[in-house]
Amino acid sequence: MFKYSQLESVQAWIAHPTNTAMPLHARIHRAIRQLILGGALGQGKSLPATRTLAKSLGVSRDTVEAAYIQLHAEGFIKRRVGSGSFVTELTEFQPTLRKSRYSELQRAQAPNLSKRGEATFRGGGIHDAPVPQTFTQGIPEVRNFPRQLWERLGRQALKDTQALQHGSPQGAESLRRAIADYINLERGARATADRILVLNGSQQAIMLCATMLLDAGDKIFIEDPGYHGARRAFDAAELESVPVCVDHQGIVVEKVINNPHRGKAVFLTPSHQFPTGAKLSLDRRLSLIDWAAREQAWIFEDDYDSEFHYSGKPTACVQGLDPHDRTIYIGTFTKSLFPSLRIGYLVLPPQLVRPMTVARTVLDGYAAQIAQLTLARFIEGGHFGAHIRTMRAIYSERLETLANLVEIHLSSFVEARVPIGGLQMPCLLTYDVSERAIFDAAQRVGIKLFGMSALYAGDKGTPGFLLGFAAYTPSEIEIGVKKLANVFHSITSKRVRD
């Protein structure tokens, strides 16, 4: 007979949302089978009569009977007329039951990973999709996105018979042509369709560069502070990241050129350094290009949000200035359009196109065809450029609003570093309070802060946080800043009372 806990297990299994698509008798059958395989119902133990179990579960007797018939057909139970139903006593069950108990022990142990697997796991990453909260950094505004236009272009793309077929591992040719034309005009790149590799986002592009061009133990120079996603990718590839400080002109190139460590590559965000917002000066760009050619090193140029530039003219990308083909340009549409559009790309030197394309087939084959063909039409029709111009004006206004409100309400606690572009504004803490205390208190009122100090390679990081502004209206920004001001005031007043 079932114990109360066993009956509860069956009820929970039946009611679980992931199982509700199954017929009721199948859910009862699976629940009892799991109790048997897990050892909760031992061999030879009796099952409740169908009428009794039906009453306990609030179902018809026929439903329970159907479950028992299936269990009997599969050999899990024996049915004896006049005696009832019993868990089968078979030696074949014993290895299964031992395995089940052993699996419980295994789940409690540390995973047995490779060195590279351990580095990838320890490096972190996104475990759950982020829930947007006020000031979440790096998130574009999607409420203004022309969805009806995108839907119409998507329907046009579906008329292409190739849209539902396997795609080219290098990416749809129409999209590669559109990307090349755009970045040549807007970013001063030297790109052709045959040098572009379409990928599922910039993170995949970074990881591909790290694993295909560098060996475990190789040294790569990184900006300090710098993009955490790149550092995690390099850790996962078992590279040795060598941090190089950043000033108001970007990475301090002399510390790369004169570094005793012979680095095989350097990772840059030159158009809008993450997280400081600094722009790499032209003379430093040219110096790095000369260094890479001389040392036969690589420059990984992550141009993640250069479309959004609010003052002055953007400097040509490093790839467009490099006559030696030592620069690999990394681009993405995640921040310029919308996050779920998982399309990024690489602009590669000619000799790398074939090996990198083959390598991506090992990862995932190719990027989704329909999204590529839709995006190609979006760019070719001039809609991408128009959308960028619209959003640039909106973001510029929101940045100005944020900067003014921070000056009014938070200047006693932080120093705002107003950027010339991008989707977030750095704020350095000037009040003696820990980042953690601010973050925890802000989280409780629905504000998501991204810490600055964690972006430094060592413990010397400057405390502060990034305020994302692109995805929030001026009124939402004002409400958020006032909430944040209340957080600071509550912490300071508590400190005075203590």
Residue 464 maps to which CATH number? 3.90.1150.10
Residues 362 and 260 reside in one and the same domain: yes
Are 269 and 411 part of one and the same domain? Answer: no
Looking at the structure, do residues 193 and 337 belong to the same domain, yes or no? Answer: yes
First to last CA, the chain: 61
Do 68 and 200 lie in one domain? The reply is: no
The pLDDT of residue 364: 86
Looking at residue 250, which CATH number applies to its domain? 3.40.640.10
* pTM, to two decimals: 0.78
How far is Cα 366 from Cα 149, in angstroms, rounded to an integer? 25
User: Does residue 372 sit within a domain?
Assistant: yes
Domain end residue (candidates: 363, 385, 407): 385
Look-up: residue for tokens 């329970």? 64
Instruction: Please check whether residue 114 lies inside any domain of the structure.
Output: no
Q: Do both 390 and 409 map to the same domain?
A: yes
Does residue 130 belong to any structural domain of this protein?
A: no
Q: Does 62 map to a domain?
A: yes
Same domain, 277 and 178: yes
Tell me what pLDDT residue 134 has: 85
Closest CA to 413 of 388, 446, 444, 442: 442
Q: Are residues 50 and 81 in the same domain?
A: yes
229 and 325 assigned to the same domain: yes
- Give the chain's domain count: 3
The Cα 284–Cα 197 span in angstroms is: 27
Domain boundary pick from 385, 415, 445: 385
- Let me know: does 196 contact 79? Beta carbons within 8 Å: no
Residue 326 and residue 347 in one domain: yes
pLDDT value of position 495: 63
Percentage of the chain exceeding pLDDT 70 = 91
| pLDDT above 60 (res 320) | yes
Residue 184 and residue 321 share a domain: yes
pLDDT tens digits for 69-80?
Answer: 998 888 888 888
Indicate the range of 15-19, 40-44, 105-109 predicted with least confidence: 105-109
Helices (H) then strands (E): counts for the chain: 18, 15
Q: What is the mean pLDDT of residues 330-358?
A: 95
Instruction: State whether 408 and 315 are in the same domain.
Output: no
Residue 448 binned pLDDT confidence (cut-offs 50, 70, 90)? confident
Does residue 102 sit within a domain? no
113-152: per-residue pLDDT in tens? 777 777 777 766 554 445 557 898 889 999 999 999 999 9
Residue 451 Cα to chain centre, angstroms: 17
Q: Does any domain span residue 109?
A: no
Q: Give a yes or no: residue 205 inside a domain.
A: yes
Residues shown for the chain? 498
Domain-located, residue 112: no
Kindly report which listed range (7-16, 235-244, 270-279, 284-293) carries the lowest average pLDDT score: 7-16
**496: pLDDT confidence band, cut at 50, 70 and 90?**
low
Side-chain-facing half-sphere of 112: CA atoms under 13 Å: 2
CATH number (domain holding residue 37) = 1.10.10.10
Question: Which of 2-16, 265-279, 354-368 is least confident?
Answer: 2-16
The whole domain housing 60 covers 4-95
Between 129 and 46, residue with greater pLDDT: 46
Do 322 and 239 lie in a common domain?
Answer: yes
Alpha helices in 244-368 (DSSP H): 254-257, 282-295, 318-321, 350-363
The last residue of a domain, from among 342, 366, 385: 385
The reported pLDDT for the residue numbered 358 is: 95
The burial of 283, by beta-carbon neighbours within 10 Å (0-12 exposed, 13-18 middle, 19 or more buried), is given as exposed
What pLDDT is stored for residue 102 in this prediction? 47
